[in-house]
Amino acid sequence: MNGPVSKKQKLIEAHLILEDGTIFQGISFGNKKSVAGEVVFNTGMTGYPETLTDPSYKGQILTLTYPLIGNYGVPVEEKDSSLFKKFESKTIQVSGLLISDYSFYHYHWDSGQSLSAWLKENHIPALYGIDTRALTKKLRERGTMLGKIEFPGESINFYDPNLENLVQKVSISEPQKLGSGKIRIVLIDCGCKHRIMHSLLDRDVELLRVPWDYPLDNLTFDGLVVSNGPGDPKTCRQTILQIRHAIDRNIPVFGICLGHQLLALAAGANTYKLKYGHRSQNQPVIELTTGRCLITSQNHGYAVDNSTLPDEWVPWFINLNDNTNEGIRHVSGRFSSVQFHPEASPGPDDAGYLFDEFLKIVES
């Protein structure tokens, strides 16, 4: 158990500045570095180690609405492992972190260090003392906004990460073979959470993890999974082309989050930016074919436009909060995708069965 900050330690104040000129004052508990990005919020009550390492947050300054953060520290990981079990990638992915109250006491049987120490180790700025309720209300009313964390004496420009191909920054650079089994699955890594790969490997498949723009034409494989990732799906033209090739070869395809949007674009549908996105572990969705309701983990800022789905493609899941699309299927059943995360981490595993359903299609 770690005690509170020493009274002799000087508190460093910094500011969050939004593009509309709104300023929030906070106190630093991460790296002392000014940073700019897109300000978003997550309403989950737990799971900050998994959330902060999710590559889908690349380029974003994350606001956690749960008021007390850091109380269970950061878990210990096997640093030499090719796939982490408690983190979703090998580093913190957010550009900055904003919270209401930081717990200087942290205790958990698996805690290896404090959240503050982990953030500093990864060179990530973070502020506590932020009025996260007021900030979240503004983002819900105005939509996600550009913002910057500035320290005294420093001044930086605003930065819009959605204008870049963020997937290129978080994807692997060389193919990686994982596991063994009779079924060979190619995974297009657009910033893939490690739990997605664990979910597939736990089902005894051979997994070939490839970069976002890797050519698949000369590969022999049984099924294709397209992972989650950050940013605007329309920047990933090479990935969309590879998905189309797989469809033309009648190879089963399963997309997750960004992969869902990329499959939709490959099919000929359109995507659009949501006002403030879905980022939490309690998003209810309904499966239209069965009427089954699932509570899901989500992290995305874009969505598929149902009205643009071409013939032979149908909505599969719908979000029960705002009726946005949460899944699509081809009438053949061989190509499908979901906007939410069936692997969860963090969050409920209601949708984990979708991996089994996909592999049944691959084997059929």
Tokens encoding 226: 């397209």
Between helices 258-267 and 237-248, what is the axis angle to 10°?
60
User: How far are the Cα atoms of 23, 99, 156, 182, 352 from residue 135, in angstroms, in the given order?
Assistant: 10, 10, 21, 50, 33
DSSP structural state of residue 144: S
Which long-range contacts link 21-26 to residues 24+ away (Cβ below 8 Å)?
22/138, 24/98, 24/130, 24/131, 24/134, 24/135, 25/129, 25/130, 26/98, 26/127, 26/128, 26/129, 26/130
Nearest to 344 by CA among 308, 297, 285: 297
Nearest to 316 by CA among 251, 269, 250, 247: 269
- CA–CA dist 117, 297 (Å, integer): 27
- CA–CA dist 53, 67 (Å, integer): 20
Nearest to 192 by CA among 32, 55, 21: 55
Tokens encoding 288: 């239209």
- CA–CA dist 155, 150 (Å, integer): 6
Report, as residue numbers or ranges, the catalytic residues. 257, 341, 343
